[in-house]
Amino acid sequence: MADKKKEELTEEKREEGLEAGKTIEETFERLEELLNKMEDGNCSLEESFRYYEAGIKMIRSCYEKIDEVEKKLIVLNEEDMEQ
């Protein structure tokens, strides 16, 4: 029982830190893995909720990265228009 709990905590920490330093594409791949785990029906309700929560965090991270890129594009376009 203690080993399973330790394994769950390790997986949770891995999921929480996953989006840091990863590309959007890599994060989407991990999201797909989590979705597949949830859909296969072999995980408990608690595991499904943890995967869902991790997925939401990853999606938020992707939105932030996309927002940063959009802001940089706006600045570049404005600089281009001034020249």
pLDDT tens digits for range 18-75? 556 889 999 999 999 999 999 998 999 999 999 999 999 999 999 999 999 999 999 9
Using CA atoms, how far apart are residues 81 and 29, in angstroms rounded to an integer?
Answer: 37
Neighbouring C-beta atoms of residue 31, cutoff 10 Å? 19
What pTM value is reported for the model? 0.68
Count of domains for the chain:
1
Residue with tokens 């404005």: 78
